[in-house]
Structure 1
Amino acid sequence: MKILITDLVHPDLVSLLAERGHQVTSDPAISYKRLSEVIAPFEGLIVSTRLPIDKAIIDAAPNLRFIARVGSGMEHIDMLYAQEKGIRVVSSPEGNANAVAEHALGMLLALLRHIPRAVQEIRQQKWIREANRGIELKGRTIGIIGVGHTGTAFARKLSGMEMRVLGYDKYRNSTDLLYVTPASIQEISEQAEIISFHVPLTAETHYYLNRSFIDNMKNPFILINTSRGKVVSTVDLIDGLSSGKIRGAALDVLENEQFSLYTTKEKEVHEALMAFEDRVLITPHIAGWTKESKYLLSSVLLDKLSDLL
């Protein structure tokens, strides 16, 4: 089988495919235009989120049998059209679920215990204790929205922190939810002091956190978003931080992660967000980016495509 890989993957994935007799072409810098020109003979396509796999690309690939997404988010793939064409589409969210969970926990602790600020103060030879008095997780209530692979992994970490963990997932039966107390959005809005999103980006989850969501929260809360940037309205997040309804935010994703392409308005919004300094922690979409997950993401795909590969 001829397989095209359009992003950097674990070398074991390439070598294992080659050992099984497949012809593997790896081009992690390929452009959308070039992909549309060369994809015709390929039967397998392994991608990340760098390029959209839309109707035009799929139409240009008459021999395509599968599209494998290294990771979880599928918003850049026209899944319905691919399935109409008889193309199998798989992803590997299991591969980096633990990595995302650890990162979310680390960001939460860093925010509540003022770790980045304290480290910076020490670099400036400032020994400040009282202003850096933190908040413990024990006894706190967190609401996890989206209890799939990453949400469950995060809940499992929190279960050892003696927290009260509420979980909501519209598409899973409450009896299937592990490490959480099943709850409605209303119950979460009334009880949670921390909100963590673990949902895919869809029309339904776009701007899930908006002014209405913030207003419905009974308690001031900490926000964690390690899912997709557009799940959170940055403008409404800024308003929530300004009013004090949002005490702090730990973000691994942004609405637009290409700083070089920012419009004047986007630059202004980002500067306004950064003005909250240590109340906002942002990392560059690295929650699922570990040495271990790089291997696991690929091995999960191989398992899911074992009948083809």
Structure 2
Amino acid sequence: MKILMYNTVAEELPYVKDWSAKTGHEVVNLFDPLDTENVSMAKGYDAVSTQQTTVMPAPIYSKLAQFGIKQIALRQVGYDVFDLPAAFENNIRLSNVAAYSPRAIAEYTLTQLMNILRNNKKFDRAMATGDYTWAAGGRAREIYQMTVALIGVGRIGSSFAQMLHALGAKVLAVDPIYRAQNEAFVEYTTLDDALSRANVISFHTPLNSQTKGMADKSFFDKIQPGTIMLNMARGEIVDMAILEKSLLSGHLYGAAFDVTPNENEFMDKKQSINELPENIQRLVQLDNFYLSPHIAFYTNTAIKNMVEMALNDAVTIVNGGYTENEILR
């Protein structure tokens, strides 16, 4: 079987080579995301795979169908990049990798929470100027004193909840899906109740019609003064203008984001600070805001699993089989 892998990154190549040697399937790598310009490259292949934050518009699926390709295997969790109606209309089966390493993202979220609690950005900036005083950063809070509201308690949220519980934090869970196994370390509650009680709010939910724009003015009005906000999920969940106002006013004590709504303009690029979107330029200057380039997932384990699971699913679907990672109508 011949598989065309779009948007390959260098770190994936050793795992692709190992998988090909193990399975006997041929994988050809392209280093750009799948789009209307390069979809024609898929002609003559049996399957395609990609990982990207740029959307795949409707013409892509009809082209793939013309080439006899029946699927797209996504090497990531978030599948909001798909045009689902267009894919299904063209009988293109879709899969994602829903659990390549939930701990990777959970551990990174915990890392950023600790950074905020310990005022590390303030201390780092002060020390760079020669200021080694305690007052430069301020006193920290300890995590066992925190009540953390998790918006979305799937694989990643559950992993984060277990870590928080082990460290002594109170964990509140907001999710329409109840998982009985989580009762040992979370308290399920409503969104309004969680927002009124939490010191920390962390998003671990997919982007969909229910979550897009969820953290709007009404949402921010319900949170306690001095709350910390964490978003390693999708940028479009949070209204960034209101986030900025809340950080400047002190209503939010701090925030750490691995995503932004406009990240395709600047993520994964080298550029001058002055070339960044204006709101990002302002936000990164704040001592209480942490921004990372969508790398919460970025571990050896995660990269290996993303490659192997997506390629295995591609083969399974092409052969007419079914995988638990398939995105259903």
Query: What residue is the counterpart of 1:119 in the other structure?
Result: 124
2:149 counterpart SS class: strand
1:278 counterpart SS class: coil
Query: What residue is the counterpart of 1:54 in the other structure?
Result: 57
**Which deviates further from its counterpart, 136-145 or 294-303?**
294-303
* TM-superposition CA deviations, 1:2-43 (whole Å, max 9, x none): 211002234323442354333322111366244222223333
Give 1:256's aligned amino acid: N
Query: What residue is the counterpart of 2:323 in the other structure?
Result: none
Query: What residue is the counterpart of 1:164 in the other structure?
Result: 170
The alignment-based identity, stated in percent, is: 25
Tell me by how many angstroms 1:169 deviates: 1.1
Query: What residue is the counterpart of 1:307 in the other structure?
Result: 316
* TM-superposition CA deviations, 1:120-167 (whole Å, max 9, x none): 333333221144211111131000001112111111211111000001
Whether 1:270 and 2:275 are equivalent positions in the alignment is no
Whether 1:43 and 2:49 are equivalent positions in the alignment is no
C-alpha distance in structure 2 between counterparts of 1:30 and 1:232, whole Å = 25
Query: What residue is the counterpart of 2:223 in the other structure?
Result: 217
C-alpha distance in structure 2 between counterparts of 1:242 and 1:51, whole Å = 31
C-alpha distance in structure 1 between counterparts of 2:278 and 2:57, whole Å = 32
Structure 2: which 5+ runs fail to align?
Answer: 320-329
**Which deviates further from its counterpart, 30-39 or 99-108?**
30-39
C-alpha distance in structure 1 between counterparts of 2:247 and 2:301, whole Å = 35
TM-score (norm 2): 0.84
C-alpha distance in structure 1 between counterparts of 2:61 and 2:44, whole Å = 12
C-alpha distance in structure 1 between counterparts of 2:122 and 2:225, whole Å = 25
User: What does 1:79-158 align with in structure 2 at a 5 Å threshold?
Assistant: 79-130=84-135, 131-158=137-164
Query: What residue is the counterpart of 1:298 in the other structure?
Result: 307
Structure 1 ranges of 4+ moved more than 4 A: 302-306
Whether 1:230 and 2:260 are equivalent positions in the alignment is no
Give 1:156's aligned amino acid: Q
Say if 1:10 and 1:298, in contact at 8 Å, map to a contact too: no
**TM-aligned CA distance change 1:17 to 1:80, over 3 Å:** farther
* TM-superposition CA deviations, 1:235-270 (whole Å, max 9, x none): 010121233221111111112122389xx9x83322
Say if 1:199 and 1:227, in contact at 8 Å, map to a contact too: yes
Query: What residue is the counterpart of 2:2 in the other structure?
Result: 2
Whether 1:287 and 2:290 are equivalent positions in the alignment is no
Tell me by how many angstroms 1:71 deviates: 1.2
Say if 2:49 and 2:310, in contact at 8 Å, map to a contact too: no
Structure 1: which 5+ runs fail to align?
Answer: none
Query: What residue is the counterpart of 1:203 in the other structure?
Result: 209
Say if 1:190 and 1:219, in contact at 8 Å, map to a contact too: no
Tell me by how many angstroms 1:176 deviates: 5.5
Give 1:175's aligned amino acid: A
2:287 counterpart SS class: helix
Give 1:173's aligned amino acid: Y
Tell me by how many angstroms 1:293 deviates: 1.2
Whether 1:242 and 2:251 are equivalent positions in the alignment is no
Q: 1:254 aligns with which of 251, 254, 260?
A: 260
Give 2:238's aligned amino acid: V
Query: What residue is the counterpart of 2:325 in the other structure?
Result: none
**Which deviates further from its counterpart, 64-73 or 74-83?**
74-83
* TM-superposition CA deviations, 1:55-91 (whole Å, max 9, x none): 2111001212221111111011123432343333111
C-alpha distance in structure 1 between counterparts of 2:74 and 2:140, whole Å = 40
Tell me by how many angstroms 1:272 deviates: 3.3
Give 1:32's aligned amino acid: D
C-alpha distance in structure 1 between counterparts of 2:114 and 2:222, whole Å = 25
* TM-superposition CA deviations, 1:164-192 (whole Å, max 9, x none): 0001112x125354632111102101211
**TM-aligned CA distance change 1:287 to 1:188, over 3 Å:** same
1:132 counterpart SS class: coil
RMSD, aligned CA: 2.6
